[in-house]
A and B are shown apart, each in its own frame.
Chain A
Amino acid sequence: MQYEVLVDFTRDYDLIRQALKKVEHFDKTHLESMLKGVSNILASNWGTQNFCQILAFTDCGMGFGKTALRQTIANVTSNRHDPEYVWLSFLSSSRLTFICLGNLNDDYFALAIKQYQQFLDISDQKGQLFIPAVREDSNKADKSGDLDYNTVTEMVERMCENNFKPFEATLKCGSYHKLECSVLMWPPPVPYKSKDLLGKETIQMISKKIDICGFLKLSDIGSPVSVSRHLIVPKMEGEKSTKKGEKGSSAESPASSNEFEKLENEIRQFYAKGDSGNSDDEDGKSSSSAESNKESFCVLLHGALKVESMAALVLLNDNWFGFIHSYADSKKKSNLMLNILQPGNDVIPWLGDLRYLSTIDDALPGEYPSFPVKADKRSYTQNCVVWIKQAGLQSDIQKVLRHAKKMPEKTPHFYKELNRIRRAALSLGFIELLEGLANIFDRESTVLPSNANPDCAIQLKHAANELRKITNRDIKTLITALPTKYNQL
């Protein structure tokens, strides 16, 4: 047995705790098979669009013989692009972290760490090793470097700070200071790699300032391709002050907004007085409770987007856009979601160049802009001629004959179809068809049903003659109906 899944993906801590108690100890580390297994599990559960993290708690065993880490490193170095190592490229899009549990004074462990780092380097992983911190201030007994609870806790904290830092940004709409909100994005966006026209790789990251540019109907947007999706939650001001001890929010608001803030407070107090008589000490209370139940632009935006079935187009960085919309999975819970589009201003064909979006009042007189932006006609909307299969040709001929039998009512249709076939035949150099069609017309004119209009025979013969004329081999000339007493041309 090379690895064992103790708990499937879960958010149930108890389940994990119970499972960890059952961990059995073995004597051999086989890193490669573990990583291969992990890569399979991640790929089949989460696909390629989710950023995955792999945390390996290990004593950094180096293994033995064929399955030793040294051997894996050698194999990967020489056969990196073999299909056998496809799992490595999947791992490269995730983050592989080793929590190295051991004593740095132990030579074996020190060597192992080097080998693990070497593995990360040669296999092109974004990973990192976390090793026990050396404590300077500790007494002699601790200098042994043995692991204890504190050392491990410290390592894990370091790792969390490094790997699981939430992405903070400011979401803003217009200029009013309340229409701006500190938000957390989850999962944190990852840098976007792309190649430019010259094949040079560029790495871009979305800005910490997300600015709303306008709004669109969801039905106009459809389901465009997105780079990633992120939950947006308003950041609680409390989180900030307890964690980092930064200044409160009031200090951040610019002076210009103070006037408005005062006005809002005045109104709030007015309402508060209305609710609870008119005593001055109530005022103090109401303003403090307003602080705890602080309004958030995110919630307002979400509510309005949901009611109107719209999404907000946001600017994420220079020439990079996204959509914020109200998202609900099968349950009733709905929330604010950001769809990050591919960088660029021309990423969704039916929305056109995003740089030409504006409100209707910017349209010129006589210009009636609306979605979707119409594309040039494609072959499937053009009634094109394809005769690769005989059925295609036969159905075109049948169509023209159907019209032929209903002349003179269908005379214009007959000639329209006839000219369509003739034009295609001339383009393809298929002059054999012109003769063939003439033959068909000749024969059809002789076997018309007795109730057929005499014009049918006349027009069919006329068309057959016209098809045979060498002078009619120009694509620009059209075969026209012969004026008869039946069609009053």
Chain B
Amino acid sequence: MSETNHKTVFVLDHTQYFGISSENLIDLDFVKSKVSAGASLPPISKSLWTSSVEAAVEYCRIVWDLFPTGKLIRFIVSDTAAHIVNTWGQGTQNITHVLNAMSMVGIPPRTAPMTHDCSVIHGLRAAIEALAEPTDAQKDVIKRAKEDEKALNKGRVICITSARDNASMSSLEDIYQTVLVQQNTVAATHKDLLNIDHCHLVIINLVPVNLESLVTNRGVKEVSPILTSEIHSISAADISNKLTHLILSHYELASTTVTGIPMKEEQNASSSANYDVEIFHAKYAHTVIFGSELILPTSIKEGAEYETVTLKWCTPRGIGASDLQPCLAQHRITSVDVTSRPSNCLINFLLNGRSVLLEMPRKTGGKLTSHLLSAHGGEIFIHTLRITRSCLEDLPSISEGGGGRVTNYRIPDFGKFMQAHKLVPLKAIADRKPDENLQKMRAKLRRHSRYWPLTSGTTLVYNMRQYIDPLLNLVSKDDLTDNDVLQCRQAIFSLVSLSTRNEQLSLPILGNRIKAHKKEELYKVIWTELEAIVQSSGSSNGHKLVLNCLCDCRARGSETAEKAELDQAIREIDGESSSHRASVIRATTDSPMSPPHVLEPAFIKKMKSTSNQNTRSLLDIMNITERNQTQKRLDFAGRLCTPSGQVAKLYPNLGSKEVNARETEAK
């Protein structure tokens, strides 16, 4: 905020003299086609006024393209009085506003007004007053500054006028200095006004093309400690060039020319030629390399007084190669000749999402890609890439470090976790407070990761999603709907029935079928882990309901613990484990006409395909119910162990084993 270029005021001379022709003739006969031989047309010429407005507007175009905020420009038009075109408010800091206001201002008066008080002085006086007004950013700084701190209020005034000779120019400077000092005295007693700590006055003396100016150019001169001024006397044809030149130093900009852009010929689409496009951007995009520009190849464009860095277009490779490149600087660009066809071509190419690498020749031969052009959100940026060596070369692979040899990380699951926590940019609307340091987002991540085993070797439940989904997806939500709870309960019940039957689970991680006696332990661990998952995923009512259901199912198993001994005895008498018996029964009773087994592969497949989706259709729910019904056929397994007349116990061994397990843990 304390840079000179934070505030710039253009003072445009709107006196009668500026209505005269600049004598920079524009031929209108260029449209004459070969066949038509109509009368030739008189050439037209812009007025001095038109020349100065278009040059000033072009200056703004470049500044506002490159610095959408923080670099403010005001326009003041001066004739019999000062006319203020825009304010420091961001809403009026755009080309459309300025041009619309300029059309209201109109052309300078043709005839001299009655009063003789028609001059650029009114405008300069208003410009000084404008510099004393704080901008929003300055107000903000003042508000936050401590007592002993003070932000400098500097500014630049660019005055386009026409003076008779050096003497009148110098008196203009004197008046300016006097008004400046006066203004500061006024500001001292006014709390809404700022003292002007420094002002840079740039006077452009404009003359028609055919006239010789009596005002001589003068470089920067320190008029007083608070004022430096310079004078440029130029012909109307060169004013835009002059301002484009001055803008480089005013905003520390640099020019890059992208060379060798292949482009189809306008008239002949089959042939292509190479074109150059010149762009402007912050100078730092060049200087950051090595801290000096010495090594970048430069040239001077015809008619220009400044150097441009010439970099070669490099036909882009695939998309993605340009992500997270080592980038030293990124700055907005704008093309110097914005309406030219090559420039349009480059801009549209970039806006369509392609990136362009720019090459510079290497000292030792070969080439280096030093910059990258790419568009983001409708703006085009130049990225300066690192071209020196980095200490980050030849790095070890992550697999060589700690934990690198572990091969069973749950990478797909973590991928899903990341997708579920993919960030999007919300709009900054009034009743949405900014999430400072992303506290809320981090809290969300914490809430969703209370239990997250890293490897498939430390989890059972996450390896058997097909048997328990959609429960895992559902409980990871913050809130559960009634339907969600219902689905979770169904998933739990289906696991209960699997467990009751001591069903073989097909878990790839277990490889071959696990031994029979391990199956009971398997289910025990599954229940424990499932409880841990549900308990840690949330504390909403829905989560509580699911957890209750889960605990009930487990508890119903342990209630019958005292009966377990009896069971055991019966089993010993039988000399067979119940599951074994079940398979024997199956083997002996199943005929080719029997309905399919509950966990026939085709059915599992179907379950898997449905479990991948978060939402279940009515069909899926019906399938589950149907499945539950078919399962009833196998309830025999449990009942076989129960003496007739008694109620069959669900998982009789669950409780007893758990007690055992607790005991071993205690030891």
Report which of B47, B391, B398, B455 forms a contact with A335, defined as CB distance below 8 A: B398
Pair A358/B453 contact, Cβ less than 8 Å: no
Contacts known (A211-B442, A435-B44); A384 close to B338, Cβ less than 8 A:
yes
Subset of 10 A-B contacts with CB under 8 Å: A47-B386, A212-B442, A214-B445, A219-B323, A356-B425, A371-B424, A371-B425, A380-B380, A430-B50, A432-B46
Q: From residue A487, how far is it (CB to closest CB) to chain B in Å? A: 24
A-side contacts of B517, CB under 8 Å: 278
The reply on B68 being an interface residue by CB < 8 A is yes
A445 to B386, CA, bound (A): 59
A137 to B441, CA, bound (A): 58
Pair A176/B44 contact, Cβ less than 8 Å: no
Stretch at the interface among A99-107, A116-124, A347-355, A457-465: A347-355
- Chain B, 385-409, contact with A by CB distance < 8 Å: what is the 0/1 string? 1111111111111110111111001
Which of B343-391 touch A at CB < 8 Å? 343-344, 347, 351, 372, 374, 376-380, 383, 385-391
The reply on A57 being an interface residue by CB < 8 A is no
Q: Which 8 A-B pairs have the closest CB atoms?
A: A296-B403, A174-B449, A47-B388, A447-B36, A350-B376, A372-B377, A333-B397, A355-B434
Pair B419/A390 contact, Cβ less than 8 Å: no
Report which of A262, A339, A381 forms a contact with B324, defined as CB distance below 8 A: A339
Contacts known (A222-B376, A262-B665, A271-B509); A212 close to B445, Cβ less than 8 A:
yes
Pair B522/A394 contact, Cβ less than 8 Å: no
- Chain B, 22-47, contact with A by CB distance < 8 Å: what is the 0/1 string? 00001110110101111101101111
The reply on B281 being an interface residue by CB < 8 A is no
A-side contacts of B511, CB under 8 Å: 274
Pair B452/A379 contact, Cβ less than 8 Å: no
Pair A313/B53 contact, Cβ less than 8 Å: no
Stretch at the interface among A125-133, A149-157, A300-308: A300-308
The reply on B410 being an interface residue by CB < 8 A is yes
A451 to B90, CA, bound (A): 53
B-side contacts of A436, CB under 8 Å: 26, 28, 41, 44
Stretch at the interface among A196-204, A409-417, A478-486: A196-204
Pair A397/B31 contact, Cβ less than 8 Å: yes
A169 to B42, CA, bound (A): 77
Q: From residue B593, how far is it (CB to closest CB) to chain A in Å? A: 37
B-side contacts of A398, CB under 8 Å: 31
B-side contacts of A354, CB under 8 Å: 438
- Chain A, 286-298, contact with B by CB distance < 8 Å: what is the 0/1 string? 0000000111111
Contacts known (A179-B452, A304-B414, A355-B435); A427 close to B103, Cβ less than 8 A:
yes
Which of A394-418 touch B at CB < 8 Å? 394-395, 397-398, 401
User: Given A213-B441, A271-B457, A384-B339, 7 more contacts at CB 8 Å?
Assistant: A223-B374, A225-B327, A270-B521, A334-B398, A362-B426, A367-B426, A440-B41
B-side contacts of A433, CB under 8 Å: 44
Contacts known (A219-B323, A401-B31); A329 close to B103, Cβ less than 8 A:
no
Interface-centre pick from A231, A332, A335, A360 (highest chain B CB count, 10 A): A335
The reply on B532 being an interface residue by CB < 8 A is yes
The reply on A221 being an interface residue by CB < 8 A is yes
The reply on A64 being an interface residue by CB < 8 A is no
The reply on A175 being an interface residue by CB < 8 A is yes
The reply on A359 being an interface residue by CB < 8 A is yes
A319 to B406, CA, bound (A): 35
Main secondary structure of the interface of A (DSSP, over half): mixed
Q: From residue A241, how far is it (CB to closest CB) to chain B in Å? A: 13
A212 to B140, CA, bound (A): 32
Stretch at the interface among A13-21, A38-46, A160-168: A38-46
A302 to B58, CA, bound (A): 49
Contacts known (A234-B401, A369-B426, A378-B65); A431 close to B323, Cβ less than 8 A:
no
Pair B377/A373 contact, Cβ less than 8 Å: yes
Report which of A215, A310, A349 forms a contact with B376, defined as CB distance below 8 A: A349
Pair B320/A430 contact, Cβ less than 8 Å: no
Q: From residue B160, how far is it (CB to closest CB) to chain A in Å? A: 13
Q: From residue A68, how far is it (CB to closest CB) to chain B in Å? A: 29
Pair B409/A313 contact, Cβ less than 8 Å: no
A-side contacts of B383, CB under 8 Å: 223, 225
Pair B377/A263 contact, Cβ less than 8 Å: no
Pair B421/A423 contact, Cβ less than 8 Å: no
A135 to B21, CA, bound (A): 90
Which of B318-342 touch A at CB < 8 Å? 319-320, 322-330, 332, 334-335, 337-340
Interface residues on B, range: 35 or more
Report which of A45, A222, A307, A356 forms a contact with B323, defined as CB distance below 8 A: A222
Residue on A with the closest CB to B461? Answer: A267
Interface-centre pick from B33, B102, B137, B330 (highest chain A CB count, 10 A): B330
Residue on A with the closest CB to B19? Answer: A429
The reply on A4 being an interface residue by CB < 8 A is no
B-side contacts of A357, CB under 8 Å: 423-426, 435, 438, 441
B-side contacts of A266, CB under 8 Å: 525, 528, 661
Q: From residue A452, how far is it (CB to closest CB) to chain B in Å? A: 11
B-side contacts of A352, CB under 8 Å: 425, 428
Stretch at the interface among B249-257, B283-291, B492-500: B283-291
Q: From residue B512, how far is it (CB to closest CB) to chain A in Å? A: 9
Pair B438/A355 contact, Cβ less than 8 Å: yes
A345 to B332, CA, bound (A): 19
Q: From residue A140, how far is it (CB to closest CB) to chain B in Å? A: 46
A45 to B417, CA, bound (A): 42
Pair B103/A215 contact, Cβ less than 8 Å: no
The reply on A224 being an interface residue by CB < 8 A is yes
Pair B61/A384 contact, Cβ less than 8 Å: yes
Contacts known (A355-B435, A379-B338); A267 close to B525, Cβ less than 8 A:
yes
- Chain B, 64-79, contact with A by CB distance < 8 Å: what is the 0/1 string? 1100100000000000
Which of B647-667 touch A at CB < 8 Å? 661, 665
Pair A198/B150 contact, Cβ less than 8 Å: yes
Contacts known (A350-B379, A449-B35); A307 close to B441, Cβ less than 8 A:
no
B-side contacts of A297, CB under 8 Å: 403, 454
Report which of A50, A198, A334, A380 forms a contact with B397, defined as CB distance below 8 A: A334
Contacts known (A198-B141, A200-B149, A355-B435); A427 close to B450, Cβ less than 8 A:
no
A332 to B522, CA, bound (A): 40
Pair B335/A197 contact, Cβ less than 8 Å: no
Pair B403/A294 contact, Cβ less than 8 Å: yes
A-side contacts of B290, CB under 8 Å: 43-44, 47-48
Pair B438/A235 contact, Cβ less than 8 Å: no
Which of B411-465 touch A at CB < 8 Å? 411-412, 414-415, 417-428, 432, 434-438, 440-442, 444-455, 457-460
A414 to B427, CA, bound (A): 40
